[in-house]
Every structure is written in C-alpha cells, then in structure tokens.
Chain A
C-alpha cells in the first residue's frame, strides 16, 4: 500500500494570479524516504499543508494509507514538522511535548513515555526543562522534529527540516531520520538542498512552479542540479 497518494491536486490562494499547485500528482510508497525537491515557490509547503489537512479548498484527491483526506484517522497517522519553528517558546520542551501530545490524544502515560523517547532521539533529554526561547536554532529544529514524532506517526512529513541549522544539528537530524526510516517509518522530505535529498532519499519528486516535473528513483539521476536545469531551464537555487 502507498503511504501517500496525491492525485491531480490543483490549488490557488485567493487573489493570486497563478495556481500554487497545478494538477500535481505524487506517490510515496510505504517505508520509503522520498524527497520533494524544488526551488522557493515550487509549491512544496502548499502541498504539505494540503496533505496535513490545513487547506481544504483544493481539487483532486489525497489518500493517506488508503484513506481519502480529510479523514481524522488518516490525520492521526501523520507526523508533521513545518518549516517554521512552530513551538511555544516560553514553554519548556517538556511542556511543549505535553501540550502537543494531548492535542494528539495521547494518554498521560503515553505522553511521559514518548516524551522521553523523542527527547532522547533528538538529543534534547538534558534540556527538557529549559524554555525553548533559550535554545539554539538547531535545538529548536530538533524539538520541532520531536513534536512531529511524539505520537509515533507512520508517515512523517518534513518541510525544510534543516533550514538555518548548524552542521552538528543537521548531522544529528540526518542520523535520526535515517534511523526512523530503517525502523519502517515513511518519510516525505521537502527540501531545496540537493545534497540532503541525495544523501537521505531513495526516490525524488521534482516540483517547479506548482507542477510535478519528475517522480522516480533517485538512482536514475546522476546530478540533481543538471537534471533540474535540463527539465526547467533554471537552477534549483534560483528564486
């Protein structure tokens, strides 16, 4: 079964002259770590928001483990780490985890156990009682990821998880993601960093200007930069 099936999704923001997503299709097989690659404005974050149920006025279909969105049971199987650090910075890491754990309907016992687990996974166990505002950018990114992992999702959606992160934290995040994928978690990694995509992912979807321009195994592409240039006439880092 596919973890994620996106079929012909079209979406435009109100007042915008062009569609943010145009007839966009994408498939992520269960157990895979797949990259969603594209420059700024390609529609990656919009797609993430649609998949996570934040945006509902789109045409086309989104299926998560065979369930058509919007669906509460499908939502529960998703873990989502947005591009922005979406945490309460005046709360401690543990308080954030308790809050988001309750929102995910975990029991008190589950929250305690899973908090310990994800704090350990992300290397934040020693800083659990500190306010997030005192964290470095890299630590905040790791907590952002920890919150997404808290309710043990089957499908993890990551939107630019290493933006603004120091090499040490980035390495830690890569290690964590590789471990999770090996343990069976499906991961869709939205990024504009080719090295990141090539290092971590076995398949890739290339997006540009709201359209899917390639969806296939990473092994078929020698050089992502050249491949993207050949498909679109512009580089991945161009805005």
Chain B
C-alpha cells in the first residue's frame, strides 16, 4: 500500500512538473506579484513624508538678511529639493507640467514684517505633504522671525513623542510575501481539479478501480502531492522574500521573533488550500468549469481577504467582510509572526478557523465527489 501511495504521489508530481503553464501559475506568478506589488504599494506603506523630497521653487524677492536666512534654511532642509522655475512658465503651468510640487515666495517687506511668506501647492499634491510643508514653513519662519536657532530643539523640551512602533501596518514585503504566497497556494485548486477531472473523463481513474486500489488510497494519492507542493510554494516565496527581494528592491524582510511558528501555520494553511482544491474538483464537472471556479474563487477570496487590497487600508465594512475569506485568516496568521511577534496562543484561533474551513471543504467534497 505504501508503494502504491508513493507511486501515486510520484505520478502526480511528474505530471505537474511537465505542465509548464502550471509551474508558471504556481511559482512564477507569485514571485512576479511579490516583486511588482511591493514596488506598487511602496507609497502606501512607507513613511512618505520622510522617504521623498518635495520639489520646491523658492523665490526670494526681498534679498534682505531675514529673507536670505529663511531661503537658506528652506533650501537646506532634508525634505526639500530646490528647483528653479523654468523661464516663461507661470504658477499654473509649473504644476501642470510637473516641474515642481510647491512654490514659496518671500516677498519684499518680509523683513519688515509687512508681508507674509506665500506658499503655493500643486493642487493634486497629497494632503500629508501639504501639511508637512506648511508645518515646516511655519517653524522655519518662526525661527527666522523670532531669532531662534533651532525650533525643534526648543520644542523637544516641551513635546515628547511616545508613539509605539506600529504593529498593525506591515512593510511592503511583509504584506506581499505571505499575501501572494497564500494567493498562489489557493491556485493549486486549478491543476488539482483539472487533473482529477481529466483522469475521470478519459477513463484513467476508472481503470485504476480495476486494480486493488482503494478510494482512500486514491484520495491520499491526490491530496498529498498537492499538499507538499503548497508547502514548497510557501517555503520558496519565503526564500524569495528573505534573500532575493531585499537585494532586488532594497526592502528588508523580518521574520519576527518566532519564525518556528511558520511551521504549524504553513501546515494548516496548506490543508486549507488543498481542501479548497478538493472541493473544486468535487463540484466541477469539466476541467473548464473547475479552472473558472477555482480562479474566480481564489481571486474573490484574495480581494476580500486583504491580499490585493491591504487589510489596514480597508474601510470598516470591508474589514468585517474580510473575515469570510480564509485568505484573511491565513494572512493574519503570518502577520502575527512577521509583524506582531505573537505567541502561538494568539495565532491559534486563526489556525482553528482555517482547520474548520479545510474540514468543511473535505467533508463537502467527500459527499459530492463522483469517482466514476
């Protein structure tokens, strides 16, 4: 029986390895998604204000000492990248043609306190940048006008920031690596169900029943290889996230303090993804039906479950809806490890939900599957 099981597994893996489209779908697709989505989501995650400089036009019409000092302070600030106004371009065109994102004019009469500094923003500039620049201009102007050397040092004695590091918002890689690993793991339903239905339709499965092979053995022979491939998919994506991506796109990937918890979490997630595959195989009647069902199901679960749209940017209603997707529970379980350094007890409820999902899938599939 063990020999038969081993051969059933070997056969499935051989068939899978010779199917280039499936290899692309299961292994290359998530790597590409991790790469591109990490870059695409960079702006959503990173501390934008300190990651990017604002292109600013500074026009000093006063040329008096205070105005010159203010000009110098603005120009030397790390947030600012000074640009010159191209000749013949007015304020509207300078923004429309993306030559600058803000414009500061220090008018004549500034030193005398007769006229204020004027700030002009690109209308489409992110609100956060506008606040940051306005705040910067306020503090620098106060420094110049009041004769304070460094307002930040003075304020530091009055205001102390005690914000804890955010443990709910993952870095781009922390979001995308588990997200698209899970997403690809659910796509196992496509080759799994197509393989089963193809065998059923071409009579190979019926032929197997003419040997002394039990349905239990055939079931195991179908489930185990795809389960192993799911685990391998996650390990590969983890290696890509940990070793490759930091070199390619410059983000680091932190495993967290309890990396060993990845083992139980991955084993349970793989059970859920394999369960989904078995369910699709049992519900569909043709390979075409099964691939549509599996792809649509996986994409919907991905959209709902915080895979494609990060959970923390979702509105409250969507956050509640996310909980109906097993991908949400799987993703959160991984984020518990990578981000929150959670204890196993804290991850356990998510594993229970995923185990229940797997159990329900296997149960329904067991009731619905028609071997012949």
Chain A residues within an 8 Å CB radius of B372? 49, 54-55
Chain B residues within an 8 Å CB radius of A85? 202-203
Interface residues as binary, A46-85 with B (CB distance below 8 Å gives 1, 0 otherwise): 0001001111000000000000000010011010101111
Residue B19 CB within 8 A of the other chain: yes
Q: Assess A54 versus B209: contact at CB under 8 Å? Given A91-B15, A103-B4, A105-B4.
A: yes
Do the beta carbons of B4 and A102 come within 8 Å of each other?
Answer: yes
Chain B residues within an 8 Å CB radius of A88? 11, 15, 204
CB distance from B188 to the nearest CB of A (A): 18
Residue A100 CB within 8 A of the other chain: yes
CB distance from B197 to the nearest CB of A (A): 14
Complex Cα gap A54–B203 (Å) = 11
CB distance from B215 to the nearest CB of A (A): 12
Q: Assess A72 versus B202: contact at CB under 8 Å? Given A90-B18, A91-B11.
A: no
- Secondary structure at chain B's binding surface: helix, strand, loop or mixed? helix
Residue A232 CB within 8 A of the other chain: no
Do the beta carbons of A98 and B206 come within 8 Å of each other?
Answer: no
Residue B3 CB within 8 A of the other chain: yes
Do the beta carbons of A82 and B206 come within 8 Å of each other?
Answer: yes
Chain B residues within an 8 Å CB radius of A147? 207
Do the beta carbons of B213 and A103 come within 8 Å of each other?
Answer: yes
Interface residues as binary, B1-43 with A (CB distance below 8 Å gives 1, 0 otherwise): 0011001001100110011000000000000000000000000
Do the beta carbons of A99 and B207 come within 8 Å of each other?
Answer: no
Residue B166 CB within 8 A of the other chain: no
Complex Cα gap A99–B211 (Å) = 12
Q: Assess A54 versus B210: contact at CB under 8 Å? Given A84-B202, A90-B15.
A: yes
Interface residues as binary, B185-219 with A (CB distance below 8 Å gives 1, 0 otherwise): 00000000000000000111011111111000000
Chain B residues within an 8 Å CB radius of A83? 203
Do the beta carbons of B203 and A103 come within 8 Å of each other?
Answer: no
CB distance from A149 to the nearest CB of B (A): 13
Complex Cα gap A59–B203 (Å) = 24
Contact of A86 among B7, B14, B15, B207 (CB under 8 A): B207
Using CB atoms, name the residue of chain B closest to A82: B203
Using CB atoms, name the residue of chain A closest to B18: A90
Residue A104 CB within 8 A of the other chain: yes
Chain A residues within an 8 Å CB radius of B211? 75, 100, 103-105
Using CB atoms, name the residue of chain B closest to A71: B212
Do the beta carbons of A86 and B19 come within 8 Å of each other?
Answer: no
Residue A130 CB within 8 A of the other chain: no
Residue of A53, A72, A98, A103 with most partner-chain B CB within 10 A: A103
Contact of A80 among B14, B18, B202, B210 (CB under 8 A): B210
Do the beta carbons of B206 and A72 come within 8 Å of each other?
Answer: no
Chain A residues within an 8 Å CB radius of B19? 90
Do the beta carbons of A53 and B14 come within 8 Å of each other?
Answer: no
Do the beta carbons of B206 and A86 come within 8 Å of each other?
Answer: yes
Do the beta carbons of B204 and A86 come within 8 Å of each other?
Answer: yes
Complex Cα gap A5–B209 (Å) = 20
Residue of B14, B18, B207 with most partner-chain A CB within 10 A: B207
Interface residues as binary, A187-220 with B (CB distance below 8 Å gives 1, 0 otherwise): 0000000000000000000000000000000000
Q: Assess A99 versus B210: contact at CB under 8 Å? Given A54-B372, A86-B203, A90-B19.
A: no
Do the beta carbons of B18 and A78 come within 8 Å of each other?
Answer: no
Residue A116 CB within 8 A of the other chain: no
Interface residues as binary, A33-54 with B (CB distance below 8 Å gives 1, 0 otherwise): 0000000000000000100111
CB distance from A116 to the nearest CB of B (A): 19
Chain A residues within an 8 Å CB radius of B208? 103
Contact of B7 among A82, A90, A98, A131 (CB under 8 A): A98
Using CB atoms, name the residue of chain A closest to B17: A90
Residue of A85, A87, A102 with most partner-chain B CB within 10 A: A102
Do the beta carbons of B11 and A72 come within 8 Å of each other?
Answer: no
Q: Assess A78 versus B210: contact at CB under 8 Å? Given A84-B202, A86-B202, A86-B203.
A: yes
Q: A interface vs B, CB < 8 Å?
A: 49, 52-55, 72, 75-76, 78, 80, 82-88, 90-91, 95, 98-100, 102-105, 131, 147
12 A-B pairs (CB sep. < 8 Å): A54-B210, A72-B212, A75-B212, A90-B14, A90-B18, A91-B14, A91-B15, A99-B10, A99-B11, A103-B4, A103-B7, A105-B212
Known contacts A54-B372, A90-B19, A95-B14; can you find 14 more A-B pairs with CB under 8 A? A49-B372, A53-B210, A54-B206, A55-B372, A75-B210, A83-B203, A85-B202, A85-B203, A86-B203, A91-B15, A99-B11, A102-B4, A102-B7, A105-B211
